[in-house]
């Protein structure tokens, strides 16, 4: 059976230090909810580039690409291996589809990648190839790039998009004890649209979804983009299942979607 593609919200970097309902869910998913993958391909919101990039490291350093957090967070390491051969295969798939790309060495895994991978697969014993997103591309183009990699799922490669569907740091409410209604309405609209795999509507989310401007602010569209890349990788299945949903700080959406596969 093919691996699914996943969209996983990575939340705050402090997720790496937390033991809560969401981290426990991710740990169970990696341990019991997925067939152990041979390798992982991950599109990260924290690698936004105009030309498609492929991380070619043989062993990944852990990039602490944030500031102002507890000191212990900067001591966490996730020393996963890379997979240059898989990276080269991804490059050939991009070339076959006329997508220019470049390989990058020495970058390491950014926190959009290692924070969730550490929760899913804490042993860091599965090779990882990280890929960039391009938030300036249209949703249909982002989806098409994910679709280029669909056949890898049949080779036991797990494809993940890591970002955040409602991710507006300027509207966080650190005193909130319940999710803010506008954030819930946006996530519910996304869920309905994904459930019917209505791409025409989804690709116009910025015009049709309630509270789209609040949920996907103009200064951070890269956090929504990984959803489209992950969905594209499951185009021939066109089946979406929401596995988890919660919120932090009123509107920071923590959710996990599975596309196709198991």
Report which of 39, 41, 18, 21 is spatially closest to residue 29, judged by C-alpha positions.
21
Phi-psi region of 223 (alpha: psi -120 to 50; beta: other; left: phi over 0): alpha
Place of tokens 């998913």: 29
E strands, the chain, are 5-9, 39-48, 52-55, 101-104, 128-133, 157-163, 240-248, 252-259
Q: What is the mean pLDDT for each group of 10 consecutive residues in the chain (262 residues)?
A: 95 93 98 97 98 97 91 95 98 98 97 97 98 98 98 98 97 94 98 98 98 96 98 97 97 97 70
Indicate the pairing of strand 157-163 with strand 5-9: parallel
Task: Count other Cβ atoms within 10 Å, centred on residue 37.
Answer: 22
The residues spanned by each domain of the chain are 5-165+199-207+216-241+254-259
d(C-alpha 150, C-alpha 230), whole Å: 9
Q: What is the pLDDT of residues 117-173, one digit of tens each?
A: 999 999 999 999 999 999 999 999 999 999 999 999 999 999 999 999 999 999 999
Q: Is residue 61 classed exposed, middle or buried when 0-12, 13-18 and 19+ CB atoms within 10 A define those classes?
A: middle
CB contact at 8 A, 218 and 167: no
The second-level CATH assignment, the architecture, of 5-165+199-207+216-241+254-259 is 3-Layer(aba) Sandwich (3.40)
Which letter, b or e, does each residue of 179-204 get, where b requires 16 or more Cβ atoms within 10 Å of its Cβ?
bbebbbbbbebbeebbeebebeebbe
Distance separating alpha carbons of residues 18 and 114, to the nearest angstrom: 14
pLDDT on residue 262: 63
Q: What single-letter DSSP state applies at residue 13?
A: G
- On whether the CB atoms of residues 76 and 116 are closer than 8 A, the answer is no
Contact 80, 60 (CB under 8 A): yes
């Amino acid at each position: 059976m093919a691996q699914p593609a996943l969209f996983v919200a990575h939340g705050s970097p402090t997720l790496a230090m937390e033991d809560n309902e969401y981290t426990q869910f991710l740990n169970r998913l990696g341990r019991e909810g997925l067939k152990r993958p041979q390798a992982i391909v991950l599109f990260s919101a924290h690698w936004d580039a105009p030309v498609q990039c492929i991380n070619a490291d043989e062993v990944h350093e852990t990039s602490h690409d944030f500031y102002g957090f507890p000191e212990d967070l900067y001591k966490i390491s996730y020393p996963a291996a890379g997979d240059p051969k898989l990276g080269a295969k991804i490059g050939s798939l991009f070339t076959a589809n006329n997508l220019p790309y470049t390989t990058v060495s020495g970058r390491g895994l950014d926190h959009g990648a290692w924070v969730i991978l550490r929760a899913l697969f804490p042993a860091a014993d599965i090779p990882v190839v990280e890929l960039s997103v391009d938030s300036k591309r249209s949703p249909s183009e982002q989806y098409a790039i994910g679709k280029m990699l669909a056949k890898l799922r049949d080779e036991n490669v797990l494809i993940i998009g890591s970002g955040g569907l409602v991710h507006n740091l300027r509207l966080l409410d650190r005193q909130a004890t319940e999710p803010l209604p506008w954030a819930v309405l946006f996530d519910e609209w996304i869920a309905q649209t994904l459930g019917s795999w209505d791409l025409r509507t989804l690709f116009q989310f910025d015009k049709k979804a309630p509270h789209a401007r609040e949920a996907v602010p103009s200064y951070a569209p890269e956090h929504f983009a990984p959803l489209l890349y992950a969905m594209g990788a499951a185009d021939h299945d066109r089946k979406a299942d929401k596995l988890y949903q919660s919120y932090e700080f009123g509107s920071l959406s923590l959710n996990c979607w599975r596309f196709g596969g198991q």
